[in-house]
């Protein structure tokens, strides 16, 4: 936010900048008004064409977490549904990483779905592996070419994936 404010001052040197009121990051359930920002984060983090609008119909209180700084979406995490507790996407807005936002979203998803195993696939060279390991997820399969159909061939992310499971 400091960067944004500094750029504003450079662009409009005469303008008066209002004082910044700091706010905590809040963790809320997905709502329709979040979708444009959520899709932007998911397209930049994974691939274009991802559409999570359906999540509004499948138990969003249990299956979706949106991290907000004021009205800015800074992260999002999704399960397929409360029945199928598979993590489809977990992403944090660029520039907001390493602030424990992913950790907090994962914590909320896990605690909102007690007594159920949680599974996911993660690219083999993704540092998020460390995050999942810390929560107790264990690898149960290594799948060669899992992301072949999705990732850009130029992408540095490994096309191979681990399937991880958190046993409850």
User: What is the Cα–Cα distance from 108 to 87, expressed in whole angstroms?
Assistant: 12
Residue numbers 73-92 binding ligand COA by CB under 6 A: 90-92
Stretch that binds ligand COA, among 29-37, 78-86, 128-136, 158-166 (CB under 6 A): 128-136
User: What is the Cα–Cα distance from 64 to 109, expressed in whole angstroms?
Assistant: 7
Nearest distance, CB of residue 90 and ligand COA, angstroms: 5
Candidates 35, 50, 131, 151; binder of ligand COA (CB under 6 A) is 131
User: What is the Cα–Cα distance from 123 to 163, expressed in whole angstroms?
Assistant: 9
Residue numbers 18-57 binding ligand COA by CB under 6 A: 45
Give the angle 74-80-85 at the CA atoms, nearest 5°. 105
Stretch that binds ligand COA, among 15-23, 32-40, 126-134, 137-145 (CB under 6 A): 126-134
User: What is the Cα–Cα distance from 100 to 48, expressed in whole angstroms?
Assistant: 26
Chain contacts with ligand COA (rule: CB under 6 A)? 45, 90-92, 97-103, 120, 122, 126-128, 130-131
């Amino acid at each position: 936010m400091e960067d944004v404010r500094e750029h504003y001052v450079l662009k409009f040197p005469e303008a008066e900048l209002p004082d910044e009121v700091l706010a905590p990051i809040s963790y809320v359930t997905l709502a329709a008004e979040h979708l444009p920002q959520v899709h932007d984060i998911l397209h930049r983090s994974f691939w274009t064409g991802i559409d999570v609008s359906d999540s509004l119909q499948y138990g969003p209180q249990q299956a979706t977490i949106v991290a907000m700084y004021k009205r800015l979406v800074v992260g999002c995490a999704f399960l397929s549904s409360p029945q199928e507790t598979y993590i489809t996407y977990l992403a944090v807005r660029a520039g907001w990483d390493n602030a424990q936002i992913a950790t907090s979203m994962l914590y909320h998803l896990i605690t909102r779905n007690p007594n159920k195993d949680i599974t996911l696939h993660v690219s083999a060279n993704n540092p998020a592996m460390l995050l999942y390991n810390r929560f107790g997820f264990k690898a149960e399969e290594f799948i060669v070419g899992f992301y072949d159909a999705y990732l850009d061939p130029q992408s540095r992310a490994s096309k191979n994936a681990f399937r991880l499971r958190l046993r409850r």
